[in-house]
Homo-oligomer: A and B are copies of this chain.
Amino acid sequence: MKTKPIILKLGGSVITHKEKPLTINNGAIRRLAYEISQANVSPLVIVHGGGSFGHPIAKAYRINEGFKDSSQMMGFSKTHQAMTKLNAMVLDALISHNIPAVAVQPSSFIITKSDRIKTIDNKVVKKLIETGFVPVLYGDAVLDSDKGFAILSGDQLVSSLATQLAAECIIVGVDVDGLYTSDPKKDKTAKLIQHITLQELKKIQHEVKEATATVTDVTGGMLGKISELIPAVEAGISVLIVNALKPDNVYKTLKGQEVVGTLIE
């Protein structure tokens, strides 16, 4: 590979309306496709989340608990199908903006072990990048060698791909400005953490872990997402969290311009 790829994560809360099952945020997807085409960076790998496509079905059939009874089988099929459809809509937007995007279905080549990716054979993703394509992967319902099946989150996939492809950086597009001191959707005094080191992050993570017996993640769930990315940060890959619902943020971040957000390094 000539240069290191940028890994762009598009959160499920950005590309779908999280509260409405199976509803995409068409405006956001089209705008993001336009921003990505204008930024025109290469090599680029895109990973998107499930939002209101994957999560409600997966939850209803308890896919994350693994294969416990045959009534879950149709749930696995339906979760997988919902993600394939969401992915097709993302691909439609990217292709219509002349981005040579190619869908790569995680469940076709990844089998997890107790929810975790052990090894990935990245030959297709690598060759797509080398050829000049933009591989597009996503959180997916996958087979699991211990549990029968599992949910592979887009965040775990991003971390694994970034490490194995020795990524330049990871850009995480979410529906808030970054990591806050408390949940910005509930607490108006919440302060954005614009820069955080791995050491500081681990300290907060530890404090939250200590507290989870009584309270939920004070950051509004962002810390949990970030935790998946720690292995990549440990491998020297910086992570930028930006609000992808705000126009131009993803464009500017791809171009290396300054954007309000959280930088982890």
CB within 8 Å of B: which residues of A?
Answer: 67, 70, 73-74, 76-78, 80-81, 84-85, 87-88, 91-92, 95, 98-109, 111, 121, 123-124, 127-128, 131-133, 143, 148-149
Contacts and interface: CB of A to CB of B under 8 A. Distances in A.
Given A124-B111, A124-B143, A133 B77 contact: yes
Given A108-B108, A127-B111, A100 B84 contact: no
B121 A121 contact: yes
Given A91-B84, A95-B78, A108 B109 contact: yes
Q: Is the interface of A mostly helix, strand, loop or mixed?
A: helix
B131 A67 contact: yes
Copies in the complex: 2
Nearest to A92: B81
A228 to B, nearest CB: 22
A108 to B, nearest CB: 4
Given A67-B131, A77-B91, A84-B84, 11 more contacts: A73-B132, A77-B102, A78-B95, A81-B103, A103-B105, A106-B108, A107-B124, A108-B124, A109-B109, A121-B121, A128-B143
